Amino acid sequence: MIFIITILLLAADFYYLKNIAGRRLVGLRWWNEVDPSTGESQWVFESLEPGTRQINATDSRFFWLALYVQPVWWVLMAILAIIRLQFLWLPLVAIALALTIINTLAFSRCDKFSQASDFAGGAFGSGNLAGSIASNFVSRMFRS
Note the pLDDT tens digit of each residue in 5-29: 999 999 999 999 999 999 999 989 9
CA-closest candidate to residue 111, choices 67, 73, 74, 75:
67
- Give the per-residue pLDDT at 55: 83
CA angle (96 as vertex; 93, 99 as ends), nearest 5: 150
- Give the per-residue pLDDT at 53: 76
Q: Report the C-alpha gap between 101 and 120 in whole angstroms.
A: 28
Contact 27, 116 (CB under 8 A): no
- Give pLDDT tens digits for 71-119: 999 999 999 999 999 999 999 999 999 999 999 999 999 999 887 765 4
Q: How many domains does the chain have?
A: 1
User: What is the span of the domain harbouring residue 138?
Assistant: 2-142
- Give the per-residue pLDDT at 138: 45
- Give the per-residue pLDDT at 123: 42
Q: Is the dihedral of CA 66, 72, 76, 77 positive or negative?
A: positive
CA angle (68 as vertex; 72, 58 as ends), nearest 5: 135
- Give the per-residue pLDDT at 65: 95
